[in-house]
Amino acid sequence: MSYEVLARKWRPQTFADVVGQAHIITTLQNQIGTDRVGHAYLFWGPRGTGKTTVARILAKAVNCTGHDPLANPEPCNQCANCQGISTGRSFDVIEMDAASNRGIDPIRELRENTQLTPATCRFKIYIIDEAHMLTPEAFNALLKTLEEPPAHVIFVLATTEHHKVPLAIVSRCQGFDFRFMDQDLVVDRLRQICQTEEIEVTDDGLALISHQSEGCLRDATNILERLTASIGKQLPVVEINQVLGLGSSQLIEDLSELILAGNVADAIQTLADLSRVGTDLIQCLQQLIAYFSDLRRVAIDSKLSSLIQASPTEVERILAQAGQVSAQRLSRILRILIQTHSEIKKNGYAQLLLESALVEACATTQSIRSLAEITDLLKELKELEKKVDQRGSTRLPTNPINNETLNGEGATPMQPPVTTDGRILSDSPNSAYMRMEAETVVPPNQSDVQDSSLDREKGKLDGGAVETDSDRSSTDENQLEAKAVPTNQEDTSDSIAKNGHLASEAVAFDSIWRQMLDDLQVHKRSAYELLKNADFIQINPVGSTQAD
């Protein structure tokens, strides 16, 4: 007899052999035991979780003649029907691959064959694998038969992409969702296989295989098959790492410890060592993500160690290391690693991007470690903001743009001048801003102007002999205005001088701001690292609009 691979040899033949799908197995057994089997089922879930296997076991259970299905819903695997279905020789169990028979013609032929009675079995079972690959026309042709099939027909549709199946099909079937298996269940199944096949492997080795399978028992069995073909029936952990491209477990452990210690140079050297021994860097990155994820769970609460899918030795090491780091820092490290994984898939350059991720992850030792420190820093910044607002809130008596009085109710304060990049100029007594305030000329009151006009009219009527007080006042005001208005040359020179003062004040304030940032860097290094790229609100210069 030809060799049979482990995945086919150890394929479950009864409901009791199915691993990790108890919620589905219990329901199907109850339906068989009470003779309430449905006419259409939809099995969906990830790859290698037992969809097609359970469909075959269901076909054997409802057609078993070795015992009464109502008394025992398990197939006997001894009768002719069970053996014929197990070996694929039964004419009454038809498996169709929808990926290669996705058109309307195969579905029309299937619909015509459903009218024929079973050859030897009680029910005719149609198993349509990868059902989401059927065309819309094929689904439409199947609708009526799927809704009201003959009494001797049972449909089982299996798919890995449930969202691609039309709702009209989903509503006509009983749905069962298959799930990935826990690592402990996969390890127990692998241990059973190894004992029967006389394969020597430690629990750490089985944990590595289970972790690589990601909860898929078929993948785990295939990995075990590959290892036995490559190494033999004695599987040491070191050789398992080498064959799977995982690198040394010790090197991965050293790399994680160097990241937590903030040792960038040694972390990059360790990564180079992993690459030199043939380690798949993407696998290495996935291992780091899984490790720091487990470490964060334990750092949050040691009771969460039950969620860690690892060997007891590794769990103890994670528990010992969790007390040395905060969950907040581990979250930052995880975000860096996950983003790097996405960038590598998109752009390549695995080693370069992974080295950059190590630099960023090691730098998290200088970041803020607690919310209390952030709160204290925000309080200090608010106090500083209040002081800046108080110093920069000087109001001018008039607005030089439109001569509107700023005193009194409804007055609008004049905004302090700012540089082109939005920084407020210094408001010291010697600044150009304060000099502009001192040089502002207050216009005469409107009532005084009206009185002066009346006096001039009266003087004209009297022949101009009498010079009123209003005339003298108007003359004095005109003289003051004449003095206040410079010539074009004087205006140009004064404007240049003021611009020079403004530039000097901008430079002076820039140096003060830099000094303040230096103080923050010295006293609050971690806060500076967090807030140095913060956005500040820019104040529009005087006379500018929102559109400017």
Nearest to 162 by CA among 177, 174, 141, 146: 177
Q: Cα angle at 371 between 370 and 374, to 5 degrees? A: 100
- What's the pLDDT score for residue 447? 47
pLDDT value, residue 353: 92
Instruction: Give the position of tokens 């200088």.
Output: 366
The domain segmentation of the chain, as residue ranges, is 6-177, 183-244, 249-366
Rounded CA gap, 41 and 24, in Å? 12
Check if the beta carbon of residue 226 is closer than 8 Å to that of residue 243.
yes
Q: What angle (nearest 5°) sits at the alpha carbon of residue 361, between those of residues 358 and 367?
A: 150
What's the pLDDT at 513? Answer: 66
Range 296-303, long-range pairs (CB < 8 A, 24+ positions): 296/327, 296/330, 296/331, 296/334, 298/322, 299/323, 299/325, 299/326, 299/327, 299/330, 300/327
Fold of the domain spanning 183-244: Helicase, Ruva Protein; domain 3 (1.10.8)
Whether the CB-CB separation of 128 and 142 falls below 8 Å is answered with no
CB-based contact 374:381 (threshold 8 Å): no
Q: Categorise residue 214: left if φ over 0, alpha if ψ from -120 to 50, beta otherwise.
A: left
**Dist CA 302 CA 295 (whole Å):** 10
Unique residue bearing structure tokens 């004095």:
476
- pTM for the whole thing? 0.58
In this chain, the answer to whether the domains covering 6-177 and 183-244 adopt an identical fold is no
pLDDT truncated to tens, each residue of the chain (548 aa)? 477 888 888 999 999 999 889 999 999 999 999 989 999 999 999 888 899 999 999 999 999 988 887 888 999 999 999 999 998 889 999 999 998 888 899 999 999 999 899 988 999 999 999 999 999 999 999 998 898 889 999 999 999 998 999 999 999 999 999 988 888 888 899 999 999 999 999 888 888 888 888 788 888 999 999 999 988 888 888 888 778 876 566 677 788 888 888 888 988 888 888 888 777 888 888 888 988 888 888 888 888 877 776 667 777 778 888 877 888 888 989 999 999 999 998 888 888 999 999 998 888 775 544 555 567 777 778 888 777 777 655 444 444 444 444 444 444 444 555 555 555 544 444 444 444 444 444 444 444 444 545 455 444 444 444 444 444 544 444 444 444 444 444 454 555 555 555 555 555 556 666 776 666 556 555 554 555 554 444 444 444 444 43
Q: What is the CATH architecture of 249-366?
A: Up-down Bundle (1.20)
**Separation between Cα atoms, residue 237 and residue 219, nearest integer Å:** 19
The answer to whether 224 touches 209, Cβ cutoff 8 Å, is yes
Q: Determine how β-strand 93-97 pairs with β-strand 124-129.
A: parallel
Give the domain 6-177 fold: Rossmann fold (3.40.50)
Distance CA(284)–CA(205), nearest Å, equals 17
pLDDT at 425: 47
- pLDDT at residue number 484: 43
Single-letter residue type at 177: D
Sign of CA dihedral 235, 238, 242, 247: positive
